[in-house]
Amino acid sequence: MTEMRIDRAWLGLTVLVLPTLIVAMDMTALLLALPKLSGDLGASSVEQLWISDGYGLMVAGLVITMGTLGDRIGRRRLLLAGAAAFAALSVAAALATDPLTLIVVRALLGVAGATLTPSTLALITNMFRDERRRGKAISLWATCQFAGGALGPVLAGVLLQHFWWGSVFLIAVPPMILLLLAGPFVLPEFRGDRAGRLDPASVALSLVAVLLMVYGFKQLAVGGEPAVPAAALVAGALVGAVFVRRQLRMETPLLDLRLFRNRPFTAVIVGLVCAGIAMAGTGLLVTQYLQDVLGHSPATAALLFAPMGLGVAAGTMTAPALARRMRPATAIAGGLAASALGGLLLAVADGPAALPMVLAGITVLALGTGPLFALGTGLVLGSVPPERAGSAASMSETGNYLGGSLGLAVIGVLAAVIYRSRAGGTSDSLAGAVAASRRLPADQGAALLHTARAAFTTSLHVTGFVAAAIFAGLAVLTLLLRPADARTTATAPAPAPEPEHAPEPEHAPDPEHATEHAPASVAESGPELKTA
């Protein structure tokens, strides 16, 4: 019986990583398909922006609400409802006949996508109560998340060579159907007695604040008139301040901001945001560098860029082994130091060895973030009682989304400023220079391209230095904010003692038990880090 239960827990994890993989792929796969679908649908530049950004905006804006909603109504129930909606909407997106329809469907896909990630992470905490098994499970989850982001453009490129652009959306349907069929049998249901009611005002405030902030950052990255995105950022910050004040006054808040009193928890959240900034910023520059400086096609550039996502995946897979040999804080800090070295490789990449140095740089940079994403995510989930795990998971995911948006905006703007100063007014962007060179005589076009590529290479170098500085600072912060005791691990609060005949706590409960409630001793224990 015990072996059967263990197998079912890991089988449940296999089912859980499916939506994680698909949500990550859906965030990146469309980038390669956007030119083709825009041509077929006749989408304007503004419509293209909303087609690509609508999904991510809704995921970022609603992940907080969905995490808490799953704690209240049941995590498996929310996960399966979101999977059904995601499958149906993916078919609708593939069959869209005009830009407006696709924009609306993509936004609704974002709503469905927001239900999936916090539910999967929270269910992992229920299925794997043992510290070591949970660490392995979270590492596998993180591996699928980042591998999906890396493989999304690659798979999209393969599909677009043989099928129409709608096939990029249809790849989500079979995994979601499998989740719907297997989920009720291999996944436990869980909702907490003390999860609290869902406060509509908090939901509205969090949604508006995150949407305004993410929209402002994305618009700054696009360029153009800065007044509108600046106003969005200011308004988002003000709404966010009201949200924070309300959460601190509530007995059962939508987000328990008091968790930031825990120093390791704070270090992880800050690390997730800042790592997202560095990775998104370098990713933005490297993908353009591969195409417009080194001259590779979009499909080839996607393949060359895959080591960044695969590096994160490898780092998350090895993180549990590192944690068994050293303090988790030391493993995270060491990984971040390695990421800083990867940034330095990007900062000096040039000449005939530019391509191998860039590939080595993004691989090392990404590999070093693995312990942060795997062990840090485990620490965040272990800092709350089980009935609040969905809310904690949403906090972690929100940090990732905000970090990515900040990276695209802040580092994108910095790179643009450096490019324009080095280009000497010959062009506003590398893409513009490439387009203009095709309309000029051969010698003038070659001269323009040489100047533009040299200016962009300088931008890449500065971005590498900035990323290295961010990761080095995070490594120091992680060591400074680690607990004073000998060893800290990301664990769930200790459950109440169970009878000797009870099943082992990491095993998934029988699916017939429609609802589990956390033991009162756990629910009342509050945030806790177990030390050994």
Please give the pLDDT value at position 193.
59
Q: Among 139-148, 220-229, 257-266, 372-381, whose mean pLDDT is lowest?
A: 220-229
Please give the pLDDT value at position 384.
65
For domain 258-488, the CATH superfamily is: MFS general substrate transporter like domains (1.20.1250.20)
Tell me the mean pLDDT in the region 297-323.
81
Q: Name the 3-class secondary structure at 484.
A: coil
**pTM score of the predicted model:** 0.71
Residues linked to residue 531 through DSSP beta bridges, in sequence order: 488
- The letter for the amino acid at 73 is I
Cβ neighbors of 269 (< 8 A, separation 6 or more) are 260, 380, 395, 396, 399
Query: pLDDT tens digits for 360-404?
Result: 999 999 999 888 887 877 777 766 666 666 666 777 777 776 777
pLDDT score of 505 more than 60: no
Please give the pLDDT value at position 247.
81
Q: For residues 212 and 232, is the Cβ–Cβ distance under 8 A?
A: yes
Tell me the mean pLDDT in the region 460-474.
93
488 pLDDT tier (thresholds 50, 70, 90)? very low
CATH topology identical between 1-198 and 258-488: yes
Q: For residues 61 and 211, is the Cβ–Cβ distance under 8 A?
A: yes
The b-or-e profile of 392-423 (16+ CB within 10 A means b, else e) is: bbbbbbbbbbbbbbbbbbbbbbbbbebbbebb
Q: Which residue is listed with tokens 């301040």?
A: 241
Average pLDDT, the chain: 76
Which one has a higher pLDDT value, 367 or 302? 367
pLDDT > 70 fraction of the chain, expressed in percent and rounded: 81
Please give the pLDDT value at position 339.
94
pLDDT score of 341 more than 50: yes
496 pLDDT tier (thresholds 50, 70, 90)? very low
Q: How far apart are CA 418 and CA 22, in angstroms?
A: 36
Please give the pLDDT value at position 57.
73
Q: Name the 3-class secondary structure at 225.
A: coil
Q: How far apart are CA 489 and CA 251, in angstroms?
A: 28
Cβ neighbors of 330 (< 8 A, separation 6 or more) are 479, 482
Cβ neighbours around 211 below 10 Å, total: 18
C-alpha closest to that of 138 among 327, 381, 330: 381
pLDDT score of 284 more than 70: yes
Please give the pLDDT value at position 322.
83
pLDDT score of 114 more than 60: yes
Q: For residues 176 and 21, is the Cβ–Cβ distance under 8 A?
A: no
164 pLDDT tier (thresholds 50, 70, 90)? confident
Q: Name the 3-class secondary structure at 293.
A: helix
Q: Among 46-50, 73-77, 332-336, whose mean pLDDT is lowest?
A: 46-50
- DSSP at 25: H
Query: pLDDT tens digits for 13-68?
Result: 888 887 777 777 776 777 667 767 777 788 776 677 677 777 777 877 787 778 77
Q: For residues 330 and 372, is the Cβ–Cβ distance under 8 A?
A: no
Most confident of 155-169, 248-262, 273-287: 273-287
- DSSP at 527: S
Q: Name the 3-class secondary structure at 190.
A: coil
Q: Where are the domains of the chain?
A: 1-198, 201-253, 258-488
Q: For residues 100 and 145, is the Cβ–Cβ distance under 8 A?
A: no
Query: pLDDT tens digits for 194-244?
Result: 555 677 888 888 888 877 887 777 677 666 677 888 888 899 889 989 988
Tell me the mean pLDDT in the region 128-142.
75
Please give the pLDDT value at position 523.
33
Q: How far apart are CA 391 and CA 370, in angstroms?
A: 22
529 pLDDT tier (thresholds 50, 70, 90)? very low
Q: How far apart are CA 202 and CA 247, in angstroms?
A: 8
Question: Which CATH architecture is the domain 1-198 placed in?
Answer: Up-down Bundle (1.20)
Please give the pLDDT value at position 429.
72
